[in-house]
Structure 1
Amino acid sequence: MGGTLYVLTVSQGNRRDTQQNMKGCCGGVPGVPGSHGSAGPLGSPARDDRDGRDGTIGEKGDRHETGAQGGKGASGKIGPKGPKGAMGIQGGKGDLGGKGEKGEATQQLNWKQCLWKRDDSKDSGLIQECRFKKKHGHTALHVAYGRTLRINCAVCCSRCFINFYDQECTGPMTIDAVYYTHANNDIHRHRQIEGYCENIPAGDVRVGFYVGKCSSYGVTDAYSVWNSVSQIMIAEMPPAQQ
């Protein structure tokens, strides 16, 4: 069906009047619907397991303290003994060591006691002899004599001493004692003399107890053995320390 299309321009102010005029004036039919517009852009995809809204981050939990250390466990069983290792290579011969210091004599105690009981009023000379077997040349002899001694005079002195091979000791000194009185008291007392003598060779040694006069005095009335047991003690000892 042909016809002429009229385009009517209507301003904003007289739109209403124009519509009314068109209805009453012309009685035209509605126009053809326009075509569909183009599709809009796709929306962003939804997040997995969410309803589209970001939730707030929860507060950080409290940190727990480290617990106390547990007790020591029981010891395990001792394992089996391992196999014996192979013998090592024999080492070379070592250097010869230096000469060691001279050691002290190692010996059993060597001693002797000579005893007798008799009266002896001798004023000078040998009273008793005791023989001793000395084992070593570098040792010393310890000699002791004990019994009742006395002198009987107004003013006098008597000397008792020990001899070795009929000679007095010179290493280090003589072994002796003196008895002096200035009244006729005639006192009898037990007395003892003793000492050490060195530089005596090994072998048989004759040890004798003697009585004699003091220096500046003559022979006096001595009573070296009276009504008691007499003894000479001899022992071999290591040398004294210097």
Structure 2
Amino acid sequence: MWTELLPSSSCPLVHGVHHGRLTSRTAADTMSPLSARPLLLLLVCLSLPLYAVEKFPSCVQGPAGGPGREGNPGTNGIPGTPGIPGRDGLKGEKGECVNEIFEEPWRPNYKQCAWSSLNYGIDLGKIADCTFTKLRSDSSLRVLFSGSLRLKCKNACCQRWYFTFNGAECTGPLPVESIIYLDQGSPELNSTINIHRTSSVEGLCDGVKAGLVDVAVWVGTCSDYPRGDASTGWNSVSRIIVEELPK
């Protein structure tokens, strides 16, 4: 290797060396200071390869080592500075005002008034009543009268049975009523026929205020028709049922 880097021409005195001896030189030349310089240069040139070998050794690369262990976690960095405050958003639309109403669950509320035998033979007036406690003003009242009804007359006649609430007929939406009409008879068919039938008067009424309510059944005439001989609750059970219902 060093032969190429330092050829023999780089050390000109090599040509003067032959088997370790100087050629064509006298002993006097060898001993002179000027003649000692080529000898020193020869020694320097001969020592350079040895120095280079020690300085730059030729090594074969070995196999790669195993992976090292994972290092310890590093310490937390310095906290960053606070960011710039955000801008205000766009103005929203105006909301609606809603009042929440929490109501109690609906509870059944009803009442029944019953009579074993009214046998009420009036043609005009109150027949029976039943007092009821209404809990809410926004509810409806369902009313029912069930009992025997009869109408008798020689000529055409009409009678009307209806409910009142605290003395007034229902106006929400209409009266609660039932009628019986009997046409004019004839002597051959016996116009004084007398039939008692169990019938009912039933309906819903709105607009009745909360509190005590006097629910009553009345009998009266039909408009533009003459009055007959009416009978209510003959020889049988009659009843009034009142029930409060949500609207």
**Which category of TM-score, normalised to the shorter sequence, fits these structures?**
0.5 to 0.7
Does residue 200 of structure 1 match 2:199?
no
Say whether residues 1:233 and 2:219 are aligned partners.
no
Quick one: distance in 2 between partners of 1:180 and 1:104? 47
User: Structure 2: which amino acid aligns with 1:131?
Assistant: T
Q: Name the CA distance, whole Å, in 1 between partners of 2:223 and 2:209.
A: 30
Q: Secondary structure at the match of 1:108?
A: coil
Secondary structure of the corresponding residue to residue 228 of structure 1: coil
* In structure 2, C-alpha distance between the alignment counterparts of 1:146 and 1:193, rounded to whole Å: 7
CA distance, structure 1, for counterparts of residue 238 and residue 142 of structure 2: 17
Q: Which residue of 2 aligns with 1:115?
A: 114
- Following TM superposition, by how much is the alpha carbon of 1:106 offset from its aligned partner in structure 2, in angstroms? 2.3
Counterpart of 1:218 in structure 2 is 226
Aligned to 1:134: 134
Q: Distance in 2 between matches of 1:162 and 1:236?
A: 15
* Structure-2 change in CA distance of 1:232 and 1:97 (3 Å): same
Residue identity in the other structure for 1:135: L
Hey, which of these two has a bigger chunk of helix by percent?
Answer: 2
Per the TM alignment, residue 174 of structure 1 is displaced from its structure 2 partner at its CA by 0.5
- Deviation of 1:98 (Å): 6.2
Q: TM-score, normalised by structure 2?
A: 0.55
Q: Give the distance between the partners of 1:102 and 1:199, measured in 2 at CA.
A: 21
Alignment match, 1:51: none
Q: Tell me what 1:168 maps to.
A: 169
Question: Cα 1:180–1:104, aligned 2, differ >3 Å: closer, same or farther?
Answer: farther
In 2, Cα distance between equivalents of 1:122 and 1:102:
49
Give distance in 2, aligned partners of 1:164 and 1:196: 12
TM-score (norm 1): 0.56
Aligned residue pairs, count: 144
Q: Compute the RMSD of aligned alpha carbons.
A: 2.0
Q: Structure 2 unaligned segments of length 5 or more: list them.
A: 1-94, 186-191
Q: Secondary structure at the match of 2:161?
A: strand
- Paired residue for 2:22? none
Q: Does the residue aligned with 2:153 lie in a helix, a strand or coil? A: coil
Q: Deviations over 1:91-122 (max 9, x none)?
A: xxxxx996366577622100000001221101
Q: Is the 8 A contact 1:105 1:238 kept in 2?
A: no
Distance 1:238 1:226, change over 3 A: same
Corresponding residue of 1:159:
160
Per-residue deviation at 1:225?
1.8
Distance, in Å, in 2 between the alignment partners of 1:225 and 1:179 is 15
Cα distance, 1:191 vs structure 2 = 0.3
- Alignment gaps of 5+ in structure 1: 1-95
Quick one: structure 1 residues 156 and 105, their matched pair in 2 at CA, closer, same or farther if it must change by over 3 Å?
A: farther
Q: Which runs of 4+ in 1 moved over 3 A?
A: 100-105
Distance 1:110 1:151 in 2: 34
Q: Secondary structure at the match of 2:242?
A: strand
Q: Which amino acid aligns with 2:175?
A: T
Match of residue 181 from structure 2: 180
